[in-house]
Structure 1
């Protein structure tokens, strides 16, 4: 048999195993509210090829490829356990098992590693929590996709309504079409139908009421059967407590803003300070996409090396706030054509660091350049450290953070030598460390952090909403703090 034959036979074997994993993953998700992960990447509703690619991607962060032949036994062991709602990482299970020297079987090791989610320890499945989207722009539609995707278990978050201004004839049809097809993020994964008579969009079986209103105070959500909902304002029109309080109408319990909050509105970066949210807090902000990109790695670096000062330069994709062609704009440079120019502009991300990381004493400055790409940005984080380090040391530390720390859902890591911005479209992490671009010289470290400023940020928003709604389930095996 030739090498090519061997390679193809191996592929077909792994393809068959991945195919057999799909019903096991789906059943755990639907019946027990268990999300199966591989190094923080969900395997729920993934195709055979996607499962295989996710396993192969592990070589970039863990140094070697994971095979489905290694992870399948752990998945089979999970199906035999009395599991409660949780997230379980097959990659972590396999890695930890390889390092364990006690001679346990896969079944024994798995039962021990996820003991917190089984038997008397398991938590109860939560009732679905109503969610309302106020606005339906770039972030609103991506958050809608994520909420619909995560409704598969029948628990967790349930998108009940979208509030928009009336847009004339066939408004709801056009909005549904924008949800169905996206020039950057591709086709919606599922089916969408529209009932114009009842102003309802049905996406993968989720009935979503479209409410037309010009003002937050004009809506009584209880009229639509909505109770104790979390409203996500993705318009950015109101950013202080007084303005956002207008959303606290009948049926709405909490308001989450997808822009930096002003005044005393808490700015939350999931993974860093979401645990500081007070149970009775009704209004909070998810900060900006850039703040979410830089704060987790900034915290990681400060925890290990100490940070004395820093500067962040963001090379940011253009946004709807800019003009397609030169035209009037209240901001001096943003009026110039976005697809034709690099545009120097300001960023509030550096000043927002203090809200998310109040214990960080370092002064962080920042600036931004908008560039002619529609999505994915890069933050260049230039840090003066409290102690000297080597490039190899920082490289290995950040890779380990992305694999095993409490920030692994926020920080990803790539060693791909030819990586470019479009490779990170659809990334669910807040930022991705580019290992090849990392520079360390004594007490100076420069991190290059890619981030999908649309989708990655939307994932962070949903994580915050899950947390405040009480449906953010624990992850096993437990990670380091």
Structure 2
């Protein structure tokens, strides 16, 4: 047998193992509200190849590929336990088991590591929580995709309605088509049908009522059977408490804004300050995509080294706010053709840091350049640190943060030498550290942070909504703060 034959046989064996994992992952998700993760990446509804690629990705972070032969025993052990709603990272289970020297079997170790989610310790499955989208643009449709994807067990967030202004003939069909096909993010994973008679889009069995209204005051959500819902405003039309309070109509309990909030509206970056949300807070903001990209690594650096000052330069993909061709725009420069120009503009991300990281007293400045790409941006974060360090130490620290810290869902890490912006379309992390571009000289560090300003940000929005709704389940094995 040749070496090539050995490699092919090995691949086929791993394919077979990955195939055997799919029904176990699906059953845990549907029947017990358990989401199986691999180094913070969900394996729910993933293909054989996707599961194998996710295992291989661990090589970029930990230095060696994680094999399905290594994680399968932990998955099998989970199926034997009396599990409650939770998220369980089999990559972390495998890594911590490897470092454990007590001689426990995989079954014994797994039972101990997830004990908080089993037996008398497990939390009850929550009642579904209604969600309404106000607006159905770039972020609205991606949030819809995520909510539909996560509706597997029926006990989490349930997208009940979308509110839009009427668009004329075939409006419902066209909106459904935009949900089904996306030029940047590809095809919707599932089936979509349109019920024009009842003004519904049915996506993977989720009946979503499309409500036509010109203002929040026109809608009584209880008339559609919607109760105690979280409304996600992705129009950005209102950003202060007074304006957003218009959404607190019958059937709506909380309002979440997908843009930076103004005044006393809390700006939340999940993973950093979501635990500061007061239970009775009805209006909050998820800040901006750039704020979500820079705050988690900024916190990671400040916690370890101290940050004395910083500047962020964002190279940002163009957005719908800009013009396709030169035309009038109320803002400077944004009236110039987005696909043809680099456009200097302002960013509020630097000033928003203070809201998300009030303990960071260092001055942070910022500016932005819009460039002719439709998605994925990069933030260049230049920091003056509280002590001198080395490039190797900084990269080791950030790699470890991306793997084992409470920020592992927000911070990703890549060592790929040829990585470019297109490679990060669909990333679910708020920020991806580019190891190869990182520069450190004494107490000066420059980090290059990729981020999918559409999809990665939408994932952060959904995490905030999960948190305030009570369906953000604990993750095992637990990470130390």
Give the TM-score range, shorter chain: over 0.9
Deviations along 1:376-416, one digit per CA (max 9) or x if unpaired, are 00000000000000000000000000000000000000000
Aligned length: 481
Partner of 1:347: 347
Indicate the residue corresponding to 1:64 in structure 2.
64
Q: 2: CA distance between counterparts of 1:432 and 1:155? A: 31
Aligned counterparts, 1:32-431, within 5 A: 32-431=32-431
TM-score normalized by the length of structure 2: 1.00
- Distance in structure 2 (CA, Å) of the matches to 1:23 and 1:244: 43
Task: Kindly state the Cα deviation for residue 332 of structure 1 after the two structures are TM-superposed.
Answer: 1.5
Q: Deviations over 1:214-254 (max 9, x none)?
A: 00011000000000000000000000000000000000000
TM-score by length of 1: 1.00
Residue 202 (structure 1) shift: 0.2
Q: Which whole-Å CA distance do the structure 2 matches of 1:135 and 1:315 have between them?
A: 26
Instruction: Tell me the secondary structure at the aligned position of residue 197 of structure 1.
Output: helix
Instruction: Give the SS at the match of 1:428.
Output: coil
User: Which secondary structure state, in structure 2, belongs to the residue aligned with residue 163 of structure 1?
Assistant: strand
Structure 1 alignment gaps of length 5 or more: none
Residue 480 of structure 1 and its aligned partner are, at CA, apart by: 1.6
CA deviations 1:85-104 (Å, max 9, x no partner) are 00000110000011101111
Per the alignment, in what secondary structure is the counterpart of residue 152 of structure 2?
helix
SS at match of 2:319: coil
Shift of 1:256: 0.1
Distance (Å, rounded) in 2 between the aligned partners of 1:167 and 1:123: 44
- Note the C-alpha offset of 1:444: 0.3
Per-residue CA deviations over 1:43-96 (Å, capped at 9, x if unaligned) read 000000000000001100111100000000000000000000000001100000
SS of corresponding position for 1:446: strand
- Secondary structure of the residue that 1:151 maps to in structure 2? coil
1:440-469 Cα offsets, whole Å, 9 max, x none, are: 000000000000000000000000000000
| Structure 2: distance between partners of 1:188 and 1:180 | 5
Q: Give the Å deviation of 1:121.
A: 0.5
For 1:338 and 1:151, locate their aligned partners in 2 and report how far apart those are by CA, in whole Å: 36
Offset of residue 477 of structure 1: 0.2
SS at the partner of 2:198? Answer: coil
SS at match of 1:153: coil
For structure 2, list consecutive stretches of 5 or more residues without a partner in the other structure: none
User: Runs of 4+ in structure 1 displaced over 6 angstroms?
Assistant: none
Local SS of the residue matching 2:50: helix
CA root-mean-square deviation: 0.3
